[in-house]
Structure 1
C-alpha cells in the first residue's frame, strides 16, 4: 500500500535532527501564517475555571453561535474534535459499499475507505487542466451505482475549487449517493470563492478551525448536515469529545471578524510576494486559493532532503495518490520564513539573486583584526548568514588557523571550529578546504600541523617556517576550489596583520588578501580601550599596497552612546581616508569561540545556582566548546577550576580534552589537583572527555613519542589503559547511551585506544558495536571519547536532572534547546542593523 503519512510531524523531525520543535521551520503543515490569534492566551486563561466542570454535552451555546456564523440552524450543526474525528464514526451512518475519491486529496479519505473495505474508485485530477474537477466523469461513475463521494472546497493539496452550482446538481441528481465536502481551508478563501452550506439529506459539510487558528493541539471542527444525520451522528460520537478550551476558542473566533479578515488580507500579500520570488526558479508552480502552493521540479526529493537537513520541512507529494515524486506542497509562511526557504532554494539550485559572475572566479571579502580576539570569527559568521539570506552563495575560508578547538567533517577530516560555525552560518556543510592549515599547539614551541584535514606531523617553529611556502600552495589550491563553487568567499585573517616579527612569513593576512584581490574590513575591540590608536597604528604599519586593500573599519563590542565616538571617527577618517562601516554593540549569544583566549580569560560568576559544575582549566585544553551548551542551563553554575581548592562542593567535575595529555596530567599531579580529585571522588560526579577520559584511567602509553616518552600513570579512577597510536581517529559518530537509552551524536578526535582491564559499565555504543565510553561499577565516574556530547539536548537534560536527583531536587522539565541557527540569526540581525552592508555590497559589485 502507498505510504499515507501526513505533514506537520515536527516532533519526529526534531528527534531526527536532535533539536527542539521550535527550531524547525514547518512548511509542511498548512496553518495560519499569522500564527495563533493575539487573544488566544486571554481566552484560554479565562476558560480555565469553567474547565473544572464537564462541558454541556449538547454544546448548546457553541451550536447557536456556529449556526449563525455558517448560516444554518443549530440542529443542523454539531462540534467535532477536529473534522478528522468524524471519519471513524461514519461506518454506521452511511450504508454504501462503494466510494469515489477525486485524487490527489486528503489522505484520510482513502485510509477510511480502505479500512472499511469499500470498493474504491479514484478519478485523478490532471495538472494540465489545473486540477479542475471533471464533472462529466464524476456523473458517469455515479450513474452506474451510488457512491460515497469525497469532495473538498478547496481541495488539499491541489487547491481545486468546488462549484456550488455543480455540487447542488450532483446532490439532487444522485440522491442515493452521499456527498462529503471537506471545508477545512474554507476560512482562508477570498469572499468571491466562499459560499454558505446548504442542507440536503445526502450531503455533509465538514469545517475545521484548527488551521485558521493555528492551534493543531486544540482541535475544533463542525459537521453540517440534515437534522436526521446530525442527530444520528451525536448518538455515535463520544460524550464531551470537544474540550471546554476548544469551545471557548471557537466562540471567541466567531466574535473576531476583523482578525479573520486581517488573516485573509495578509495571506494574499504573503502569497503574492512568494509567488513573485519563486518565478526565478524553473519550477511548475500551481497557485491555490488556500494557504499553500503546489510545485513540481525533477529534483524535488533531493531538495526536500536538503531542506530537512537545514531544519525546514515541506510536504512531500509522492504519497498523495496521483502526484509523483516531483511534487512538493509548500505552506504560505511569514515573510522571514519564506526568505529562508528561498535562500536555501538558491543554494541548492546554485542560483544567486544578486550576482551572476561573468567569470568562474568568485569575489572575496576579508576580515582582519587589530589583534587576536577582536571579533573576526563571529563577524565573518554574521556576514556569511546575512549574505546567504540575500541569496548569495557564500563560503568561509581561513588559510591558517591556530587553535585547539577542532571538528571532524563528514569526510572524516579535521578543521577549526571557527570555520565550522561560519559554514553553518552560510547554510553549508563544513569542509576541510575552508581551513586548509590547522595548527594545534602541543608545547610552547611546537604544534601538530593538520593539512587538508589530515595530520602531517609535529613541527617546531623553525620546521613550520621552512614548510610555509608549500603550505601556501595548499592554501591557494583550496581557495581556488571554493572560488569555483561559490559566488563569494569570506576570508578570515589571524591575529594582527602587522606583527612585524611574523609578517615576513605571513600566509593568512595581507599575503592572502593580495592573492585573493580581497577588500579588507579591519575590526577592533573597543572593549579593550585604545581603539582609534589600534586602527591608526595598524594602518600605518601596512605597506602602501596593503593600505589600498582596506575597505573600512569596524568597531566591535561597543557599549554606550554611539554619538560620543564622532570626534574619533572623524579623526580616523582624516588620517586614513577610510570610512568606519560598522559599530557593533557588545553581545553575548553564547556562540562557540575559536580559541581558548576568551575561555581562559573568563571569571567565574558570583552567586549560586542549584548545580555547580566545574571544568578543569588544563594548560593544553582542547575543544572547550564541548561545554558551551551547559552555560545556558538555568540551574547550572559553570565554573572554571583553576586551583585545587575550588574542587570542593562541586556536583560534577569535568576533565576536558587535551592536546598534550602527558603534560596536562603531570600538571594535575604537581599542582595538587589530582590529590583533591581523589579526596572528593565519592562526593561528586567525575566526567572525562577524550584526553580527560584517558587521564581517569590507570596508565597511558606513548610508544611513538607523540606527547611524551614511555608511559605515565593516570589518576586511577577507572580501570582502563590507553595507548597512543600513530593513526588518528577522526570520525563523526552516532551512538546509543545504553543506560537510558538515548541517541547521541558527536565526533572523535584522538590518537589513543582505550581498553578496560576490569569490569566496567559500557555507556556509549555506536552502530558498529564499538564502545565509546565506560562508567565505574559503583561510583559516578565515567568517560567517553565523544566530543559534542552535551550539544545533544536529550542527553544533556537527562544528565543534569540526574545530578539534581542526586541532590534531592526534582527534575527541571522546561530546559532550553541549544540551537546555533537561532543564535546565528540573532547575530546577523544585530550586525545588519549596525553595519553599512549596502556600501560593502556595492563595492563588491552586488
Structure 2
C-alpha cells in the first residue's frame, strides 16, 4: 500500500539523494520541525532513561488546552493510524460507510476486521463537494460512518453544522461517526470545520487528529482522539499497547501545542500561500484545479498526458508529485500537490507550465 509518493522508493529507483528531492506528496507543513520541539528533545535527552507516563496526563492536559476539549475526553496513540485501527477493532462494525475518495487505511482496517464497506462518493461533476443530505440518507443500517474532514485528496470539507447533522442522524440509527481531522488546522478558520465543539452532544462521535502534518513531525508518530464516550476510551486503552507514544514524542508534542509563534506563522503562511498557489495553478493551460480549504490541491490534466507521465518527469527533476489515480474514484489524469515554501512552489509552477 502506498502512502503519499514514497520518497524512499523514488530516491532508490531514480538514484537521487533523498535530501535532493522536494516532496510535494507528503502534505507536511513546509515550515518544518518547530524549534520548540527540537529544543525540548535536546534539553530532555537524558530523560530517555525513564518510561513515559502510561496515562500521558501532561500531554492530554496540553491537548485539552489546545483544543478546548476536557482532559478526560482525550486519548493519545502512536500516530492517527494506531487510533483508527484500535477504534475499528473495538467497534467491530459489520457494515460501514466511508466517504470517498479517501485515505486507504480506513477501508483496509474495516475489511481486516470483517466489515462490509459501502461508499458515499464525492462527485467530480460538483467539484467533489459533498451533499450532507445525500450522505445522511445512506446512514441507516450502518454501524460506522467514516469521514476525512477536510478530505484527502480532494481538499473539500463539510462544515461543523453539516457534521452536526450527520452525527445526529448516525446517533438516531445507532451508528458511530469517525471524523479524521488531520488537515483541519490548515484551514483559514478551524471553528468552521472542526467538530471538537460538538463532542459533548454526541457519544457516538470520535474525532482523530495528529501531529505529523500541521506540526511537521511525522517521524515522531503521535496522534490523539477526542470523544465524550468514556467507555470507548476505556475499551481502546484496554487494547492499546502500553507506552505506545515514546517519551520524546510526548515532550515534543507538549512543546509544539504551546508554541504560539509556530502556530501563528503557520496560519499566516498558509493563508497567503494557498491563495497564491490557487491563483497561479489556475493560470496554467490544460489544467483544472479544484478548490481546497487546506494545504494541498487536486489537479486534473485536460490534455492528452497522464498523471503518471507528469510524476515521472517531475521526479527526474527532483520533485515528487502524488499520482492521484491510486485513489479509488479518481482517474489517470489527476494528481495532488501540497503547498511548500514560495521558491519551491514557484519551481513546481514552472515545471507544470513547461509540460502542459
Same fold (TM over 0.5): yes
Pick closer, same or farther for the CA change 1:307–1:8 going to 2, 3 Å: same
Give yes or no for contact 2:93–2:114 (8 Å, CA) kept in 1: no
Give distance in 1, aligned partners of 2:265 and 2:118: 40
Give 1:56 shift. Answer: 0.5
Is residue 98–residue 147 contact of structure 1 (8 Å, CA) maintained in 2? yes
What is the aligned partner in structure 2 of residue 161 from structure 1?
157
Post-superposition Cα deviations, 1:246-284, rounded to whole Å, max 9, x if no partner, equal 111111112112321210111122222222222133211
Shift of 1:116: 2.1
Q: What SS does the aligned partner of 1:90 have?
A: helix
Does the Cα contact within 8 Å between 1:102 and 1:124 map onto a contact in 2? yes
Structure 2 counterpart of 1:312:
319
Alignment of 1:289-368 (within 5 A): 289-297=293-301, 298=303, 299=305, 300-349=307-356
Which digits, 9 at most, give the CA deviation of each residue in 1:535-589, with x for residues without a partner?
A: xxxxxxxxxxxxxxxxxxxxxxxxxxxxxxxxxxxxxxxxxxxxxxxxxxxxxxx
Using the alignment, how far apart are the partners of 2:136 and 2:96 within structure 1? 14
Q: 1:204 aligns with which of 206, 219, 222?
A: 206
Q: How does 1:758-773 map to 2 (within 5 A)?
A: none
How far off is 1:91 after superposition? 4.1
> Do residues 102 (structure 1) and 105 (structure 2) align?
no
- Given that residues 323 and 336 in structure 2 are in contact (C-alpha distance below 8 angstroms), is that contact kept between their aligned partners in structure 1? yes
Contact 1:183-1:207 within 8 A present in 2 as well: yes
Q: Distance in 1 between matches of 2:64 and 2:36?
A: 22
Q: Does 1:218 align with 2:241?
A: no
Mapped partners of 1:170, 1:272: distance in 2:
30
Question: Aligned partners of 2:195 and 2:166: how far apart in 1?
Answer: 17
- CA deviations over 1:491-542 (Å, ceiling 9, x no partner): xxxxxxxxxxxxxxxxxxxxxxxxxxxxxxxxxxxxxxxxxxxxxxxxxxxx
How far off is 1:346 after superposition? 2.7
Q: Measure the CA separation in 2 of the matches of 1:331 and 1:40.
A: 23
Aligned to 1:494: none
Q: CA deviation at 1:95?
A: 3.5
Structure 1 CA distance for aligned equivalents of residues 299 and 88 of structure 2 = 35
C-alpha separation in 2, matches of 1:343 and 1:165: 40
Superposition deviation, residue 319 in structure 1: 1.3
8 Å Cα contact 2:97/2:142 also seen in 1: no
Aligned to 1:149: 145
Contact conserved, 1:152 with 1:162, CA < 8 A, in 2? no
Contact kept in structure 1, 2:54 and 2:242, CA below 8 Å: yes
Aligned to 1:5: 2
CA–CA distance in structure 2, aligned partners of residues 103 and 39 of structure 1: 36
Other structure's SS at 1:49 match:
helix
Q: Distance in 2 between matches of 1:173 and 1:140?
A: 9
Is the 1:293–1:330 Cα contact (8 Å) retained in structure 2? Answer: yes
Shift of residue 70, structure 1, vs aligned partner: 1.3
The answer as to whether partners of 1:47 and 1:244 remain within 8 angstroms in 2 is no
2:289 matched to which residue of 1? 285
SS of 1:108's partner is helix
Q: Which string of whole-angstrom CA distances, capped at 9 and with x for unpartnered residues, describes residues 15-34 of structure 1?
A: 11212210101001000021
| Structure 2: distance between partners of 1:43 and 1:74 | 22
Q: Output the TM-score relative to the length of structure 1.
A: 0.40
Q: After the TM superposition, which residues 257-656 of structure 1 pair with which residues of structure 2 at under 5 Å, given as runs?
A: 257-278=260-281, 279-297=283-301, 298=303, 299=305, 300-349=307-356
On the 8 A contact 1:201/1:229 being kept in 2, the answer is no
Deviations 1:374-432 (A, max 9, x none): xxxxxxxxxxxxxxxxxxxxxxxxxxxxxxxxxxxxxxxxxxxxxxxxxxxxxxxxxxx
C-alpha distance after superposition, 1:126-180 (max 9, x if no partner)? 122221222222222213x123111122111112212222222222233211110
Per the alignment, residue 758 of structure 1 pairs with: none
Give the structure 1 partner of residue 235 of structure 2.
232
**TM-superposition CA deviations, 1:641-690 (whole Å, max 9, x none):** xxxxxxxxxxxxxxxxxxxxxxxxxxxxxxxxxxxxxxxxxxxxxxxxxx
Unpaired runs of 5+ residues, structure 1, are 350-846
Q: How far apart in 2 are the matches of 1:329 and 1:95?
A: 33
Q: How do 1:757-796 residues align onto structure 2 when only pairs under 5 Å count?
A: none
* Residues 1:54 and 1:157: Cα distance change in structure 2 (over 3 Å): same
Count of residue pairs the alignment pairs up: 345
Cα-to-partner distance string for 1:685-727 (whole Å, 9 max, x where unaligned): xxxxxxxxxxxxxxxxxxxxxxxxxxxxxxxxxxxxxxxxxxx
Selected match of 1:63 from 60, 64, 83: 60
Structure with the higher fraction of residues in strand conformation: 1
2:35 corresponds to: 38
What's the CA shift for 1:194? Answer: 4.3
Distance in 2, matches of 1:117 and 1:193, equals 35
| Segment drifting more, 134-143 vs 320-329 | 134-143
Inter-partner Cα distance in structure 2 for 1:167 and 1:33: 29
**Could you tell me how far apart the structure 1 residues matched to 2:130 and 2:237 are?**
32
Deviation at 1:8, TM superposition (A): 4.1
- Counterpart CA distance in 2 for 1:213 and 1:43 is 14
Give the 3-state SS of the residue equivalent to 2:265 in structure 1: helix
How far is the alpha carbon of 1:114 from its aligned partner?
2.2
Aligned to 1:74: 71
Contact 2:160-2:193 at 8 Å conserved across structures: no
Quick one: which of 169, 175, 182 aligns to 1:173? 169
Structure with more relative contact order (C-alpha pairs < 8 Å, separation 6 or more): 2
CA distance in 2, matches of 1:218, 1:8: 19
Q: Is the 1:78–1:223 contact (alpha carbons within 8 Å) kept by the matching residues of 2?
A: yes
The residue aligned with 1:88 is: 85
More helix by share: 2
Deviation of 1:313 after TM superposition, in Å, equals 0.7
Q: Is the 8 A contact 2:27 2:339 kept in 1?
A: yes
TM alignment of 1:667-706, pairs within 5 A = none
- Maintained 8 Å contact 2:37/2:253: no
Alignment partners' CA distance in 1, 2:65 and 2:37: 22
TM-score w.r.t. the length of structure 2 is 0.92
Tell me if the contact between 2:132 and 2:166 (Cα under 8 Å) persists in the aligned partners.
Answer: no
Counterpart contact for 1:296–1:326, Cα < 8 Å: yes
**Secondary structure of the corresponding residue to residue 97 of structure 2:** strand
Pair 1:189-2:187 in alignment:
yes
Equivalent residues of 1:71, 1:196 under 8 A apart? no
